[in-house]
Structure 1
Amino acid sequence: MTYVLLTRPEEDCQELKTKLIVPTISSPLLKVTQKVKRITLPEGVTDLIATSARVFEMITNIKSMVATPVWCVGEATAAAAKAAGFNTIFQVNRSAQEILERIVNECPKESSHFAHIGGSVVHVDLAEALVKLGFKADRIIIYETEAAQSLSPEAETIMQAGLVQQIPFFSLRTAEVFIDIAKKSEWADKLGRVTALAHSEAIARSLRQISWKEVIVVPDLSAQRIVDYYKRPGDPSMKQIPFIGQLLATAAVAAIISMLTVSLWPVPSPQDLLPSVTSNDLQALTEEVASVKEKIKSTSEIEEKIQYLTETMAQLQKEIADQKTEKSEAPPIIEAPKPAEPSAPPIVKDSMDSFRNLQQELTTGSVRASTVIEVNKHLPADQQLPRSVISIRDLLDQLQVLPELKREINLEVENSLWQKAINSMGLKVRKTEPTPLKDQAINGLKRLDFSFLEALDAVPLPGDWALWVKECHQTKNVLNVVSTHLNQNSSTTAGDYK
């Protein structure tokens, strides 16, 4: 049997164990001590920041703050805020740095005032970072955390024996404490058999400082996900018996049962085999025999009628054959030959019609697969056009629903403040603004001008945009092929689609 090692604070470990159906062992790596139960927000606070779900359980007067918007890191923190009654919740999934980026992009400095409620140890001091970037912000500490220096004795023994299969990590702080303990432990080499589940990519990066069997990022890390990733060694194979094998096995069992039945069943006496027959039964049987005889008689009459009809049909067939013989012996009637009608000239289909139809569908309507197939009949094998090509109109329809493309720009702050924030916090804060690329694409397609593709090819694109650009290139290439073939058979030369 292998175990899941739980390293969360004691209360969280106990709660998690009640939801797990796999073997677990607890070794809390952080001891949480609450310092404040009630808090008073600084005057003018417009937004709260919470990086742990614990704050909503610890603050006794949290209900008085539910009208204030709250920024949360992680799904669990946001769920705790919702359970506490908060109306406006902004959730990010990566890290506290993502909150910082969103605040910079979305919140005005002049009218925003943030309060970060949390513990004594943080990886990103959001309040300090916001102040350095020109915002008003305060930090409110309601609990302290103390890191363990080793695993519990029981956990040490299990780890040393190599019986731990999985360790979930819900926080970066816990991961860092575990790594420090592992580096000076005697069981570090056993981690090559252990799978680490990381709640975020940041936690996973920290865990990869040491060797594991596997580090898996599970954003929705929960009791159910822990069970999903747990593997029970020694589970019996679930291979199914082939159908023929099942059939043979069933037949063998049936044969054995039949043999046992024949050999063990008592042989009845002759008296037991004679049924008791009453006079009523005999009368009914007599009537049934008479009915059968009547049906047999009727059948004989039907057979006689069939015989008569067969003979009559044979006679008629003979008379018809005689009439045909007499007719064939009469002198033939010779008819004057009719003048042959002039045959219609063969219809020669102009292959250019197919190309013109496809060009029209590409530029003004929707492309039909049958049109592409017809054009491909006039093209060599190495120049076959894709049937999936779409028209300009369809490209425009797809483009309308694509999101605006944005680019990063520098923040409009003094270099000294910006540099100070970068150096002191180790953060990279981004701000974005829309680009004109979408409008350029719309205008270009309306003019049948694909030159906008050059700008799109030069920038990284999200998946839906990349797929759309690929469709554009395909349509452009098909239009060029069609244009080339039409120009070869026309006195008017049209330019390629750029």
Structure 2
Amino acid sequence: MAAQTIPALLMNGTCPTILLTRPAPASRKFAQRLRDAGVTAPIVTSPLMRIEPVAASVPEGLRGVLFTSMNGVAAVEGRSLPAWCVGDATAAAAARVGWQAISAGGDAEALYKRVLADAPHGPLLHLRGEHARGDLARRLSAAGIETSETVVYRQVTEPLGPEARRLLSGDSPVLVPLFSPRSAETFLAETPFRAPVVGIAISTAVADILAKAGVARIDVAAEPTADAMIKAILVRLGAD
């Protein structure tokens, strides 16, 4: 992203605020990336969940593993085994700790299709969070690729903080980037909101959840990546 300064577009005569609800480390990193991209709009961080590792180990005899998030990578020790990863960032994290990382470049469905296309011999193991979508292990096993799963971290829900509640109770527009269906559902559980909310959705699955809840303004990232989410925010703020 270019490092030029991006003045926030006035919405209803008011500069919007960006509300980040990812776990604290991810929110800090994303906020810095927004600043590096030139975003000057106010940013408020209020994590709606925290990540708690679950004691787990990778058994011997595997032919590879699946990761659907960087949290899964961080929860286990690296191995010199093939690791099919949901996207580039997760693959980069896996490669740094020794896995032979393969990026599906998308979402859980893209990961499923990539493993099917590569047709590895099992057994494989999906190292995942307590809450996960895609039913990868069952679907891959049904397709003839032996795959099991184990939970290696929990996503513990937390309430919005006082600053975020004040923001959402006001009259100024709030941009809320949402990176998963679960994060969208968790955010919507905090309703009702008085402020006009603009949802920045990482996928159509997230957008559908927002739309069903009555969120009037929703932008969907061109692809399910952090770069595409930043681009969508820049567009909404009037950078393009």
Tell me the TM-score normalised to structure 1 length: 0.40
- Quick one: which of 102, 105, 110 aligns to 1:89? 102
Contact preservation (8 Å) 1:27, 1:155:
yes
Q: CA deviation at 1:46?
A: 1.0
Q: CA deviation at 1:141?
A: 1.6
Q: Residue 187 of structure 2 aligns to which amino acid in structure 1?
A: F
Partner of 2:84: 71
Higher helix share: 1
Q: CA deviation at 1:88?
A: 4.2
Say if 2:188 is the partner of 1:179: yes
- Quick one: which of 9, 16, 23 aligns to 1:9? 23
Q: Residue 51 of structure 1 aligns to which amino acid in structure 2?
A: T
Contact preservation (8 Å) 2:207, 2:218:
no
Partner of 1:35: 54
Q: Residue 203 of structure 1 aligns to which amino acid in structure 2?
A: V
Q: Residue 3 of structure 1 aligns to which amino acid in structure 2?
A: T
Partner of 2:113: 101
Q: Residue 82 of structure 2 aligns to which amino acid in structure 1?
A: P
Q: Residue 229 of structure 1 aligns to which amino acid in structure 2?
A: V
- TM-aligned CA distance change 1:84 to 1:73, over 3 Å: same
CA distance in 1, matches of 2:157, 2:91: 26
Q: CA deviation at 1:213?
A: 2.0
Deviations 1:377-418 (A, max 9, x none): xxxxxxxxxxxxxxxxxxxxxxxxxxxxxxxxxxxxxxxxxx
Deviations 1:440-495 (A, max 9, x none): xxxxxxxxxxxxxxxxxxxxxxxxxxxxxxxxxxxxxxxxxxxxxxxxxxxxxxxx
Partner of 1:24: 43
Q: CA deviation at 1:161?
A: 0.7
Q: Which runs of structure 1 show a deviation greater than 6 angstroms over 4 or more consecutive aligned residues?
A: none
Unaligned 5+ segments in structure 1 are 233-498
Unaligned 5+ segments in structure 2 are 1-14
Deviations 1:203-236 (A, max 9, x none): 223222222223222423348536623538xxxx
Classify the secondary structure of the residue corresponding to 1:20. helix
| Larger Rg, first or second structure (1 or 2) | 1
For the aligned residue pairs, the C-alpha RMSD in angstroms reads 2.5
Higher strand share: 2
Classify the secondary structure of the residue corresponding to 1:71. strand
Tell me the TM-score normalised to structure 2 length: 0.77
Classify the secondary structure of the residue corresponding to 1:211. coil
Q: CA deviation at 1:170?
A: 1.6
Q: CA deviation at 1:27?
A: 1.6
Higher relative contact order (CA 8 A, sep 6+): 2
CA distance in 2, matches of 1:225, 1:44: 42
Q: CA deviation at 1:57?
A: 2.8
Classify the secondary structure of the residue corresponding to 2:190. helix
Q: CA deviation at 1:105?
A: 4.2
